[in-house]
Amino acid sequence: MEVHEIISKLFAPGKGILAADESNESAGKRLAAVGAESTTETRRAYRELFFECPGLSEFISGVILYDETWWERSSTDEPYPAYLAAQGVLPGIKVDQGLSPFGEGEKVTDGLENLGERLDGYAKTGATFAKWRATFRVDPLRELPTTACFLENAKRMAEYAKACAVRGIVPICEPEVLLEGRHSMAEAEKAIGEALDALFEALAAAGVPFGSVILKTSMALPGIAADEVEPIREVAASTARVLTAHAPGALAGVVFLSGGQTPQLATAHLDAIAKREPLPWPVTFSYARAIQEEPLKVWRGRPENVDRARAAFIRRLTLLAAADQGRYDAAAER
C-alpha cells in the first residue's frame, strides 16, 4: 500500500486511530484499576475486547499495537495485524522503547538501537504505520521543558521518521506535553509550539518529507493541578492557534491524544476543534484511555461482561465520530 493511500485511509471522515500500544506495565495498571490481574492471557483478552468488537471498522481506521500484541493471535487464530487488516483497519506499531532520564527532571525517548531491523520485521508482517512518543513536563518554576530536551528528542524522532519513510511506513510523531502539573493553558501552548519547532526543524534536516508524517499532539490544556479550568472553546482556540503557527501546511495530518482527559472532555474538546475547520490539514483523534476507560470499568476482566463492555466502547466511538465532524451533542452523554 502506498504512503498516500495509508494516510487517506487513516483520515477517513468520522474515523480515528485507536491507541492500544500501552506497555505491559501500563496495561497492568489499567487492569489493576478494574480489579483484574495482569497476565499474558488477561492482556490478550483486554486487547481482544476492542480488536474483535463488531463494528470496529465503522469508527476506527487504524490501531497502534504494542510489540507483545503484534505477535499474538486472534480468537480465529490469525495474527492480529492480519486480523485487523481483514476487517478494514490498518495495523500500526509503537516502536519507541520507553524513556530515560535527561538532565534534571526531564526524559528522552529510547529505541533507535536495532530500529531498522525491528521495522523490517514489522513491515514484513503487515505494519503500515508506526509511532514514536516523547514527553515534556511543563514546570515554569524549574524552567522546564529545556531547549536541550526539545532538541534531543526531536533529533531522535527525526531519525525514527527517516527509518520509517525509507521503508514505506508512515511515521506518527508524538511530542506530548504532559497534563500533569499546575501550568496554565498559555504555558502549555508555548511548550507545544517549541516542541513543534524543534521537531520540524529536525525532520527537515533529516530530509523527511512533511507530507509523509502524521503529528500526534497534545491539546493546549492547563495542568491537571492548575487553579483554573479553561472553557472548552478557549482550549480549542489555543490548540488551533499553536498548531497553525508551528505545524507546516504540508503535514499529512494531525491526530490528538487524550493525555489523561476524561472521555467526556476529550470528546468535547475534539468537537470544538473540529468546529474550527477547515484547518491546513485533516484532524482526528488517536485516544487510548479516553476510549478504553468506560468499557474497562464495565468489563473488569470478566467474560460475562464482554457484550456490555463492547456496547460502552461503541457508544464512545459513536460520540467521537460525531465530534470529529463537529456534530457532538453533550446531551448525549446523559
Active site residues: 174, 216
What is the spatial distance between Cα 202 and Cα 207, in angstroms, rounded to a whole number? 9
Distances (CA, A) of 44 to 70, 124, 271, 314: 11, 22, 32, 20
Q: Are 165 and 212 in contact (CB under 8 A)?
A: yes
What is the spatial distance between Cα 231 and Cα 148, in angstroms, rounded to a whole number? 33
Indicate the burial class of 114 (C-beta count within 10 angstroms; 0-12, 13-18, 19 or more): exposed
Strands 129-136 and 106-109: unpaired
Phi and psi at 260, nearest 5°, equal 100, 0
What is the spatial distance between Cα 220 and Cα 269, in angstroms, rounded to a whole number? 10
Indicate the burial class of 57 (C-beta count within 10 angstroms; 0-12, 13-18, 19 or more): middle
What is the spatial distance between Cα 14 and Cα 87, in angstroms, rounded to a whole number? 17
